[in-house]
Amino acid sequence: MSPTPPSSVRRVACIGAGVIGGGWVAHFLARGYDVTAWDPAPDAEDKLRRLVTAAWPALEQLGLAEGASADRLTLAPSLAEAVADAEFVQESAPEQLELKRDLLAQLDAAAPPGVVIASSTSGYPMTDMQITAATPGRLVVGHPFNPPYLIPLVEVVGGERTDRAAVEWAAEFYGVAGKSVITMDRELPGFIANRLQEALWREALHMVANGEATVEDIDASITEGPGLRWAFMGPILTFALAGGEGGMAHMLDHFGPSLKSPWTRLEAPELDRALRDAMVDGCERAADGRTYAQLVAERDQGVIDVLRATGRLDGPAR
């Protein structure tokens, strides 16, 4: 696949320098890469350098890689020049299928042979974006979260015509570049995290549309509630802990019926034996030998640390 091993990459090209593309630029610069960016907008360079300057203090706190410098950013006059000597390409153009399709085909035509090209698309399947590219095998999705220089997660998945080796190369490269990678073995609209947050987001929109809750109520209901746990323990394992020593099995047997209640407009799946067992087994794997008491202690310390870190241990709760 790529002529360069993931750990040897030094030059990264970022195509599109908006909030996401610019965030990628800041991340790669902080990790010590030479970054060449290209964006057709007339004011792109000013905006991009402002974004990097604004992000740099945060990146210094995170810890810069040796030799990392905002001076290692170059703005290229053309797409072709931006990717001419790139060892990895990250595309972060506006979320429009036709535009991304054409852009990826152009990048594929201009980038050195074998160099992996990743799209930041937040939802399009690569299968739909790679159809006009000459060598679609190297095109993958590398979906980040905002801001890419702070949120570790990247979801990596290929399309029907993507080489498995390109997916594996991208997953390894992102890991080397300090990201937390989830590799999907199948395409799914919205991938994983966006399907989850989009479900929450759509329920929130329904509530506002119906006058059931305000924007402030909705945001506070997360930051003062579940959000405090989700920063370090996922929704499934935290739900299992609510089952006490009985864990997920108790929760599903106990709250199974309420799955049919009209909480949210999203219909629940049939909680059959297979799903129940998949959830229970998954939680056992996630617990990885930790006892209920140990998990509770970890969760409690985590919430306390998060409350302290977010300035909520002084004075009464908000």
**Residue nearer to its own copies on the CB measure, 69 or 197:** 197
Binding of its own copies at residue 230 (CB under 8 A)? yes
Residues in the interface with its own copies (CB under 8 A) total: 125
Q: Radius of gyration of the chain from Cα atoms?
A: 22
Binding of its own copies at residue 39 (CB under 8 A)? no
Among 30, 82, 126, 228, binds its own copies (CB under 8 A): 228
Stretch that binds its own copies, among 1-9, 98-106, 134-142, 238-246 (CB under 8 A): 238-246
Binding of its own copies at residue 64 (CB under 8 A)? no
- How far apart CA 65 and CA 111 sit, in angstroms, is 26
Q: In what order do the strands lie in the sheet with 73-75?
A: 73-75, 34-38, 11-15, 88-91, 117-119, 139-144, 153-158, 180-183
**Residue nearer to its own copies on the CB measure, 131 or 213:** 213
- Cα–Cα nearest to 179, from 2, 3, 6: 6
Structure tokens at 64: 């810069």
Subset of residues 241 to 260 that bind its own copies, contact rule: CB under 8 A: 241-244, 254-255, 258-259
Helix (H/G/I), strand (E/B), else coil: 38: strand
Backbone angles phi, psi at 210, to 5 degrees: -95, 5
Binding of its own copies at residue 182 (CB under 8 A)? yes
Subset of residues 119 to 148 that bind its own copies, contact rule: CB under 8 A: 122-123, 145-147
Subset of residues 257 to 276 that bind its own copies, contact rule: CB under 8 A: 258-259, 261-271, 274-275
User: Other C-beta atoms within 10 Å of 190: how many?
Assistant: 17
Subset of residues 185 to 224 that bind its own copies, contact rule: CB under 8 A: 186, 188-190, 192-209, 212-224
- How far apart CA 50 and CA 72 sit, in angstroms, is 15
Residues annotated in the binding site, as ranges? 16-21
Residues annotated in the binding site for NAD(+), as ranges? 16-21
